[in-house]
Amino acid sequence: MGVKRKAAAAIVVLLLCLGSLWLQGGLDYHWDSCLKGYNQVNKPPLQNQPHQLSNSSEADETQGPPVLAPCPGQNFQVSVLVSHLLAARAYTSDVLLQPYLSSWDELVKFMESLGPMVSLISQEIETKTAIIRQLALLSEKSPEAELVPDIHSGNAANSPTVVKKFAGDSRGAYHSVRSMIWTELNRGIVDFHHQTDSGCRTLLRLHRALLWLKLFLQKLAETPMAGRLRSPSDLCREAYQNTLSHHHTWFVRRAAELAFIALPERGFFFRLVCVQNQEELSVVLTRVVNAIGEIYDRTQKALEENGMLDLP
């Protein structure tokens, strides 16, 4: 009996390791951390860790009420997701981090609804959002004032307009994607050659995962002119192969594709967003995809401008 329990524990550890490798794109570097995780059974859950950024955000008042109605009986709410995505837009090319991370909170609920294998992946995403929230909290509590330029003035690098930011200022270093990038570059936190837990590197991993989800939902929304609708499992695997798989080892790719086999059928997604058929699902998911697309494009531009699309 003791041997069986040890074998079961080893399998659980392996699955958790695969989930943690999902956004990393490597295997050897993280193997030691997986073994350490085996001995940290009593580690407190993520929700008990301190966060600076709240788990929800109010939609921009100019947007009016949510474009989609709540779906009774579901933990994941597509209307809440769209509200957070709309609220994350700032200026013409920036993304506010609080509603951005709140969007991920809702996407985690979406992934958890797809079954235990996919929920292992969502646990790693929660770890990533917790890292950025923790960095924001530490920055807020810093006794030293920060010098943050007006990054939207068009000449932030040489701008004489410098605003002094003190702890507790909601528009500080981790207020938006661009303010975080500027701060971490100027503090020397970003390492272009070695793996670190900088906010920028963490954001890049979330950014890559967002493209995978965007493409999956886009494919799920498509209605073919003729023939049968393809299974969500096939669509999710195809979206993965076109996005995240490029950053993963062979071992992680095989494990991911195995997880997609267990995805529910299309009728499940009808119930998840409270629609009756594929036509209605297409309308709802197209709104979600468009909202995700704008946030993705803004983040992509900010990372690309600073040479951060290939951070190790």
In a domain, 117, yes or no: yes
In a domain, 142, yes or no: no
Residue 163, strand partner residues? 148
In a domain, 129, yes or no: yes
Helices (H), the chain: 2-21, 28-38, 78-87, 97-112, 116-141, 177-187, 199-221, 232-241, 250-260, 266-272, 278-305
Amino acid at 222: E
Q: Tens digit of pLDDT per residue, the chain (312 long)?
A: 454 444 444 444 444 455 555 555 544 344 344 434 434 444 444 333 333 444 344 444 444 434 588 899 899 999 999 999 999 998 889 999 999 999 999 999 999 999 887 877 888 899 999 999 999 998 887 645 455 555 565 554 444 333 334 333 456 899 999 999 999 999 999 999 988 889 999 999 999 999 999 999 999 999 887 778 999 999 999 999 999 888 888 888 888 888 889 899 999 999 999 999 999 999 999 999 999 999 999 999 999 999 999 998
* Dist CA 284 CA 261 (whole Å): 24
Contact indicator for 245, 253 with CB cutoff of 8 Å: yes
Number of domains in the chain: 1
The pTM assigned to this predicted structure is: 0.75
In a domain, 261, yes or no: yes
Q: How far apart are the first and last CA of the chain?
A: 43
In a domain, 147, yes or no: no
Q: Which domain holds residue 69?
A: 2-137+195-305
In a domain, 47, yes or no: yes
CATH at residue 230: 1.10.3520.10
In a domain, 171, yes or no: no
* Dist CA 76 CA 74 (whole Å): 5
In a domain, 181, yes or no: no
